[in-house]
Amino acid sequence: MIFSSDNWAGATDAVMAALARHTSGFAPAYGVDPLSRSIEAKFNEVFEREVAVFLVSTGTAANSLALANYAKPGGVVFCHKEAHIVVDECGAPEFTTGGNKLFGLPGDAGKFTPQALETALKGYPEGVVHHGQPSAVSITQATEVGTLYTPDEIAAISTVAKSRDLPLHMDGARFANALVSLDISPAEMTWKQGVDVLSFGATKNGCWCAEAVVFFNPQDGAGFEFLRKRSAQLFSKSRFISAQFEGYFENDSWLESARHANAMALRLAEGLSAAPGVDLPVTPQANEVFPVIPRAKAAVLQDAGAKFYEWPTDDLPADRMMIRLVTSFATTPAMVDDFVSRF
């Protein structure tokens, strides 16, 4: 009953098999091996256009470097106030951008609106040096609370960003979960709605450590290789990341993993919504479920070996708590059913 996070799982068989396949033999170091080149081509195919893609090893690296690519002196990045880049990356974006500020926008269910962005941008009129200058807008898909921006919502945010010549960044740590849930193409969820740069996450969905920074306007990434190297994210044996992507994309195993994880979340949600004493204030759209349960029940579950985290939230009675349940490719129906049966 492991629901702590999707990163408590290991790697999928497809990913490990690919890695094993490339273990022996020699290959040029530092990202110019044939396998890495083929993975770059694969990204073009996945996104139905020529992209500039740079492999890195953690989501924090992908996000920080993507934002650093557009950093300005006194720069300000606009994102949701609960975004991972604000709350969970120990200031890596601020450090990597040379001190750009993250402006946390309010918004229900982990999402901010184009209106909220527009209002915040008004506080940063052109050329007022005291306030600094907007440098980027960032959305998270799926969000920290497992919700999704629709393509139209993304496009509307992009329109506001573009009105100030700002790039739109998408933190796609759970990109695949969002994609299969919306049932649209990678292109439709990104550049067709005006996303400029994507942190394409693969780790949570079955890789060991494989993330990619994808620039939809390849020239945007012209100097990125220096940024990546300077942040110690250019790997000598780079094929070990490329191999993970090979396995990830092979036979659409990434979509299959995400579909499974989402299905497990749905199974959880359905089970819990019928359980006594449980509320589900946020409808799960990807692989996370946020039930409100009796605090006493949480202790019982943990004693039984269930793993999950409390999700701090306001305005609950002292005897109730919101918890976060995350599913992954490795979650089994039995695990879900066992958990639900204990309510």
Binding to a second copy in span 41-80, by CB under 8 A:
56-61, 64, 68, 72-76
Residues in region 106-125 near a second copy by CB under 8 A: 123
DSSP string, 123-139: TS-TT-GGG-EEEEEEE
The least distance separating a second copy from the CB of residue 144, rounded to whole angstroms, comes to: 12
Interface region with a second copy, contact rule CB under 8 A, candidates 100-108, 149-157, 186-194, 256-264: 100-108
Burial of 338 (C-beta count, 10 Å sphere; 0-12/13-18/19+): middle
Judged by beta carbon, residue 11 or residue 214, the one nearer a second copy is: 11
- With beta carbons less than 8 A apart as the criterion, state whether 66 and 199 touch: yes
The least distance separating a second copy from the CB of residue 28, rounded to whole angstroms, comes to: 6
What's 214-231 look like in SS3? EECCHHHHCCHHHHHHHC
> Phi-psi category of 207—alpha, beta or left, where left has phi over 0 and alpha has psi -120 to 50?
beta
The least distance separating a second copy from the CB of residue 71, rounded to whole angstroms, comes to: 9
Strand-pair partners of 14? none
Cα 38 from Cα 27, distance rounded (Å): 13
Binding map of a second copy across residues 203-222, x = CB under 8 A, - = no contact = xx---xx-------------
Which tokens hold the place of 143?
Answer: 């969000």
The least distance separating a second copy from the CB of residue 135, rounded to whole angstroms, comes to: 10
Judged by beta carbon, residue 130 or residue 251, the one nearer a second copy is: 130
Q: Can you give the length of the chain in residues?
A: 343
Number of residues that bind a second copy (CB under 8 A): 78
Cα 10 from Cα 18, distance rounded (Å): 15
The least distance separating a second copy from the CB of residue 146, rounded to whole angstroms, comes to: 17
270 binds a second copy (CB under 8 A): no
Bridging pattern class, strands 288-289 and 309-310: unpaired
The least distance separating a second copy from the CB of residue 163, rounded to whole angstroms, comes to: 20
Bridging pattern class, strands 168-172 and 133-140: parallel
223 binds a second copy (CB under 8 A): yes
Residues in region 78-97 near a second copy by CB under 8 A: 87-92, 94-97
Residues in region 224-253 near a second copy by CB under 8 A: 225-237, 239-240
The least distance separating a second copy from the CB of residue 273, rounded to whole angstroms, comes to: 25
- With beta carbons less than 8 A apart as the criterion, state whether 15 and 248 touch: yes
Cα 58 from Cα 77, distance rounded (Å): 20
SS3 at position 307: strand
Judged by beta carbon, residue 129 or residue 183, the one nearer a second copy is: 129
Judged by beta carbon, residue 74 or residue 151, the one nearer a second copy is: 74
Binding map of a second copy across residues 128-157, x = CB under 8 A, - = no contact = -xxxxx------------------------
The least distance separating a second copy from the CB of residue 274, rounded to whole angstroms, comes to: 26
